[in-house]
Amino acid sequence: MKIALVGATGNIGRQIARHALAKGHQVTAIVRSEKALPAELAGASLAIAPLDDAAALAAVIRGHDVLASAYGPRPGDDIGQIPVVAAQLVAAAREASVPRLVVVGGAGSLEVAPGLQLVDTPDFPAAYKPFALAARDALTQLRPVQDIDWTFFSPAAEIGPGEERGTYRVQARTFLTDADGHSRISYADYGAAFVEELETNAHPREIITAAY
C-alpha cells in the first residue's frame, strides 16, 4: 500500500511508520519542515506540507491508498487544533481523491454504556478532559463524511512506551478493558493494530479501539 502519514515523527506516528515499513508498505511522512527523521522512519519518503494548506497537502497525498494521521498538538499548542486538523485532512483527502482516512483518536469518545462516553463519566481525569473533548470534536468532523472511508482509531486509555507483545484486541465503539479493569496498550502494539486496520479497512466510518 501507499500510505501518507501525518504526525509520523510523534510517539505514535513513529510506531505506525515502523510497522508499515516492516510489512513492505510505502510510507510518505508528511512533515511541516525539513528535518532529520527518527530511526523508525528509515525507508520512508519525506514530503513537506502545512496541514492548513489544502492544496499543498492534497498535492503530496495524491496517489496514496490511504491518509493516516497521528497528529497531536505539541505542548503549549492550541488543543482546539485537533478538530481543525481533522477537517483539514478530510478536505485534502477529498481534493486528492484519496479514498480512506484513518486518524488516531481519543479513548474518551468510546462508550462505557449505551449512549455514555468515557469522557462524560464523573471520574474522568480533569487533566485529560480538554484533550478528550477536542478529540471528540474531531470525531464530530468525521461523522457526516460519506465519501471517504474514515476510521477514528482511539488508543486504549493508557498508551505509552513498553514491550511489544504482538497481541491486542480491537473492537468498535466501546471502551475495552482487561480482566483487571485496565485499558492499556504500548505504542508499539498500537502501531501494529493501526497498520492492520490500514491493511484490512475492517471498520470504515467507525470509531474503534485497541487494547490488551
Exactly one of 18, 21, 71, 210 binds ligand NAP (CB under 6 A); that residue is 71
Instruction: Specify the residue, 52 or 147, whose C-beta has the smaller distance to ligand NAP.
Output: 52
Instruction: Specify the residue, 147 or 168, whose C-beta has the smaller distance to ligand NAP.
Output: 168
DSSP-assigned letters across all residues of 73-119: PPTTS-TTHHHHHHHHHHHHHHHHT--EEEEE--GGGSEEETTEEGG
- Could you say whether residue 10 binds ligand NAP (CB under 6 A)? yes
- Could you say whether residue 78 binds ligand NAP (CB under 6 A)? no
Burial of 128: CB neighbours in 10 Å, binned 0-12, 13-18, 19+: middle
Exactly one of 3, 4, 5, 13 binds ligand NAP (CB under 6 A); that residue is 13
- Could you say whether residue 7 binds ligand NAP (CB under 6 A)? yes
- Could you say whether residue 107 binds ligand NAP (CB under 6 A)? yes
What does the buried/exposed string (b/e) look like for 81-120 if buried means 16 or more CB atoms within 10 Å of the residue's CB? Answer: bbbbbbbbbbebbbebebbbbbbbbbbbbbeeeeeebbbb
Contacting positions for ligand NAP (CB under 6 A): 7-13, 31-32, 51, 70-74, 82, 104, 106-107, 131, 135, 154-155, 157, 159
